[in-house]
Amino acid sequence: MKIRDLFEHYGVLGNPFAEEDAQNDVVFKSSCIKTSFHSAWDKIYGNPADPATSVVFGEKGSGKTALRIQMIRMLTEYNTDHSEKRPIVLDYSDLNPFIDRFRHRFPQGRKIQKVLARWELWDHLDAILSLGVTQLIDRILEPGQTVHPAAVDLKPLPIEKLNLHQVRDLLLLASCYDTSRSENSVSRWNRLAKKLRYRTWKSFFSNYWDFLPGVLGIFGTLVSFWAAFQWAGSLGFLMNRWFYLVLLVLWLPLLWKMLQRFGKAWSMKRSLRVLPHLKSNLFKILMRFRKPDFNGMPFPVSGNTDHRYEMLAKLLGVCDTLGLNGLIVLMDRVDEPYLVNGSAELMKLIVWPIFDNKLLKHERVGLKLLLPNQLLDFMERENKDFHQRARLDKQNLIRSLDWTGESLFDLTNARLIACAADGWSPSITDFFEPSLDRRRLVDAFAKLKVPRHLFKFLYGLLGQHVNKHTDTEPVWKIPEAMFESVLSLYLRDRDAAERHLGVV
């Protein structure tokens, strides 16, 4: 007997319980994403018109990644319907690139615990700013692209609304935080400057006036060569130290500018620890700023968090003019980077700096932190200073992404209906003998606790049932005895695995 035959007997096309990861779950993405929501959905999702932070703890398989995917889908629909005021959505779920670059700033022999202990709030701010700035520039340079989550631009962003100060701010943000690898950073910055009308003939002469004394000095030297040969027949004046001193003075404005810009590029390279900048490219870009635009700008150097907040304010100001009313940052899968490898202690070192009320409650910024439940134990053991800094009582805190037996029962039926042929409305109770009524299934599902365990259990149960019967003598109802024995074995194996991993 084949499992496909069992499903088709009840009008189900395909296996609704084959996938365990929402990232690859076709049934969820095609149907259940719009119909099946966790009971805490409204509190987590909030109002896109006024982004707010939510902190969610949940065990593996409880649906954190599904929540992230659902939020992206719902925000895409919201942005489609609200073209004038829509948030930028940042998917901060792949931490590998940021952690790898951070790791390379330290000696290779140093233990990863000591390396990640140096991770700070400004590293998170740099990562978030890089995601936001790179997306914004992509959408300006390539109107209509849909590479980024929930980036729905029915028409090009109105960059003509940006004033001169905002143009300068956007170019400053691009120099620091644009990490696109689609082209060289210098040529991309030049393209952006040209589109924003920052690079004109007037700005060119304004920016490069300090070349003039040096050019005049070279011209004067050439004229002196010619005059010396014509009239004196000698180059003896080249032996006069005053000649070289005059040349040096003529070039001093340019040399001083280059020294300033190179020093700033060097400091930024050291300070932006999670970004892949080259000093040479940073220097070339900084040389293109006019002196009034360069002086006094809050470049992200050293461990200065205040400068990062100033940069965030500039990004939000530019976004507001372009019809983008804030940032929604989706942080997920913090246990998956290969250097972390599921270690709760290493996850804590990365996540803890972000628990700062100034960031979590920042106006027009909503962080959706979807975190493993192992971190909840660490959080509850933290001291008073941590809780005063984080103010989790203000952050829409979900301590456990729990599922009741009833909600898992409804979720199971929703997946069956999503895979049903036209005219069919299957229920999970159809697959079992009458002695296994709805109440018993709900009680059993409650013990499984999360969708991933439910799907794994049902997949294994259905597989064992069909393997015990032939195609010529099929049995369409699963007996109660088999259900109870498979459930008991699955719960025992699950508890043993969790004890081995230190989850319980």
In this prediction, residue 223 carries a pLDDT of 56
445 to each of 181, 351, 377, 496, how far by Cα in Å? 47, 32, 25, 19
Closest Cα partner for 105 from 283, 268, 270, 262?
A: 270
- DSSP H helices, 396-502, are 405-418, 438-448, 451-467, 480-501
* Secondary structure of residue 374 in the 3-state scheme: helix
Q: Decide if 327 contacts 365 (C-beta within 8 A).
A: yes
Residue 408, sorted as left (phi over 0), alpha (psi -120 to 50) or beta, turns out to be: alpha
Q: Check residue 193 and give its pLDDT.
A: 92
Give residue 504's pLDDT.
45
Residue tagged 């004394």 (tokens):
213
CB atoms within 10 A of CB 348: 18
Q: What is the pLDDT of residue 232?
A: 53
Q: What is the pLDDT of residue 373?
A: 92
Tell me, what amino acid is at 234?
S
Q: How far apart are CA 254 and CA 246, in angstroms?
A: 14
Sign of CA dihedral 348, 354, 360, 366: negative
pLDDT confidence of residue 297: 86
Structure token pair of residue 218? 């070279």
Domain boundaries, the chain: 3-16+404-501, 201-294
pLDDT at 244: 55
* Residue 140 CB neighbours (<10 A): 21
Please tell me the predicted confidence (pLDDT) of residue 201: 45
The distance of Cα 160 from the centroid of its chain, to the nearest Å, equals 28
Q: How long is the chain? A: 504
The pLDDT tens digits along the chain (504 residues) read 899 999 999 999 989 998 888 888 889 988 889 888 999 999 999 999 999 999 999 998 999 999 999 999 999 999 999 988 899 999 999 999 999 999 999 998 899 999 999 999 999 999 999 999 999 999 999 887 768 999 988 889 999 999 999 999 999 999 999 999 888 999 999 999 999 988 644 555 455 556 556 565 555 665 555 555 555 555 555 555 555 565 666 667 777 788 888 999 999 999 999 999 999 999 999 988 888 888 878 899 877 799 999 999 999 999 999 999 999 999 999 999 999 988 999 999 999 999 999 999 999 999 999 999 999 999 999 999 999 999 998 899 999 998 999 999 999 999 999 999 999 999 999 999 999 999 999 999 999 999 999 999 999 999 999 999 999 999 999 999 999 999 999 999 988 887 766 554
